């Protein structure tokens, strides 16, 4: 068994967990989150494996470096064995980093080059990696990529319909939320059917077709901006929209990025919020909020149907992610238009997320499962350490 600290960074948050990883099992020691990093009041919370609160406090945490120092302090104060390795979630490794790997100087250079593919995510992840190297010197560190699960998609799904020389330069469909999808496949184990559609729905959202445990298609493309409409991201757009904005409205790259990543999706349509909970509360009196919710459900429903076509049928649909796991109204809105493929929900079970949520009459099972990205990071990190042999802690130290 090795102790792995999993770090899952966002632009203003840092989820973390300490896991004991063996060849056949992964045990949670503790888990927590630092929220609103850089704000006047940040929130730091953690719980043990039985969900007993270890700490909940509100205080300024200015940077991700400060967050890692606070996490290190918690581990030391709790008397918990120190981590043997650290695993990081990295959204996009670009065209040269397609498999989970131990971090060294070469990997860091390639991650810096790949930051252009995911400017919302990769710079924050790189900062956390550097801070972790400083605070936990000598520990092996591992990069776990969201794109890895989709790396073997068939050419027909992976290739973008653009000039061949651009495709050859690495412009392709990469797909994301791969660690979440892997965690669903792991949880299902022997119960995983041949044809599964996973809808990871949160502030970022994607839909993936899984055949016998392998990704064969997914809604996101070159970057995490593509696919279905999201909290603040547009999802797929007619390229002519961008050309029009360039020519007629004199947008530049910075303005386009701000539009498609920060001022679109639920926030753009509602004009008020990207938080589905707030939109539900406003919807009875706010037509724009209602439209935003309807468009989200409609867009996800179309992508689910597309993945059913890619799989030539479906045996199981899984909802995961913050919205997927907790929003019964959205799940019902998505599934209400899928009766033609045999989907039927049990209203009461859907309302309480009592898995499975499909009715007895449904020819396709529908389930709600928690995304376990951090555990998946820990498993991959443990596997890489085991494959490196007993001297991993000396041979895998990142080069300075």
Pairing of strands 2-9, 85-90: parallel
Q: Please name the residues in contact with 83: beta carbons below 8 A apart, sequence gap of 6 or more.
A: 3, 4, 5, 18, 75, 136, 139
Instruction: Count Cβ atoms below 10 Å from residue 144 Cβ, excluding itself.
Output: 28
220 with 157: CB under 8 angstroms? Answer: no
Residue 315 bears catalytic tag: no
Under a CB-based contact definition with an 8 Å cutoff, are residues 17 and 32 in contact? yes
From CA 220, how far away is CA 205, in angstroms rounded?
Answer: 8
Token reading at 118: 């995911």
Residues 258 and 357: their CA atoms lie apart, in Å, by: 38
Alpha helices by DSSP H, the chain: 64-77, 105-114, 122-135, 155-158, 164-168, 178-188, 239-248, 253-262, 265-270, 276-282, 287-311, 321-326, 328-335, 347-352, 373-388, 392-395
- The widest CA-to-CA distance across the chain, in whole angstroms, is 63
Buried b vs exposed e over 70-93: b needs ≥16 C-beta within 10 Å? bbbebbeeeeeeebbbbbbbbbbb
With residue 147 as reference, give the H or E element that holds it.
Answer: none
- The catalytic residue among 66, 146, 217, 261 is 146
Q: Using CB atoms within 10 A of its CB, is residue 44 exposed (0-12), middle (13-18) or buried (19+)?
A: buried
Q: Which candidate, 295, 268, 301, 270, places its Cα nearest to that of 283?
A: 270
Which residues belong to the active site? 146
């Amino acid at each position: 068994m090795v102790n792995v600290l999993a770090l899952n960074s966002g632009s203003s948050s840092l989820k973390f967990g300490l896991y004991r990883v063996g060849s056949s099992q992964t045990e949670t020691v503790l888990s927590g989150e630092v929220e609103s990093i850089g704000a006047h009041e940040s929130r730091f919370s953690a719980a043990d494996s039985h969900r007993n609160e270890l700490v909940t406090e509100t205080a300024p945490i200015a940077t991700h470096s400060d967050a890692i120092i606070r996490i290190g302090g918690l581990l030391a104060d709790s008397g918990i064995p120190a981590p043997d390795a650290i695993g990081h979630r990295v959204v996009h490794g670009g065209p040269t980093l397609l498999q989970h790997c131990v971090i060294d100087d070469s990997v860091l250079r390639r991650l810096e080059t790949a930051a252009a593919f995911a400017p919302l995510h990769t710079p924050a992840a790189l900062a956390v990696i550097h801070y972790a190297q400083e605070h936990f010197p000598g520990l092996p560190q591992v990069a776990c990529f969201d794109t890895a699960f989709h790396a073997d998609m068939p050419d027909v799904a992976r290739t973008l319909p653009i000039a061949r020389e651009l495709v050859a330069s690495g412009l392709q469909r990469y797909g994301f939320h791969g660690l979440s999808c892997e965690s669903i496949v792991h949880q299902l184990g022997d119960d995983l059917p041949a044809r599964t559609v996973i809808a990871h729905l949160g502030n970022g959202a994607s839909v993936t077709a899984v055949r016998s445990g392998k990704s064969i298609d997914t809604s996101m493309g070159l970057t995490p901006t593509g696919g279905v409409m999201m909290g603040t991201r547009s999802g797929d757009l007619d390229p002519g929209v961008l050309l029009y904005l360039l020519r007629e409205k004199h947008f530049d790259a910075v303005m386009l990025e701000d539009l498609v990543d920060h001022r679109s999706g639920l926030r753009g349509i509602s004009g008020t919020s990207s938080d589905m909970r707030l939109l539900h509360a406003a919807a009875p009196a706010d037509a724009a909020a209602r439209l935003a919710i309807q468009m989200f459900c409609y867009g996800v429903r179309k992508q689910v149907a597309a993945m059913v076509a890619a799989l030539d049928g479906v045996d199981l649909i899984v909802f995961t992610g913050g919205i997927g796991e907790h929003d019964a109204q959205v799940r019902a809105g998505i599934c209400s238009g899928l009766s033609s493929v045999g989907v039927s929900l049990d209203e009461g079970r859907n309302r309480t997320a009592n898995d499975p949520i499909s009715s007895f009459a449904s020819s396709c099972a529908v389930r709600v499962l928690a995304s376990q990205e951090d555990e998946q990071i820990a498993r991959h990190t443990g596997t890489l350490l085991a494959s490196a042999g007993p001297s991993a802690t000396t041979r895998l130290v990142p080069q300075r």
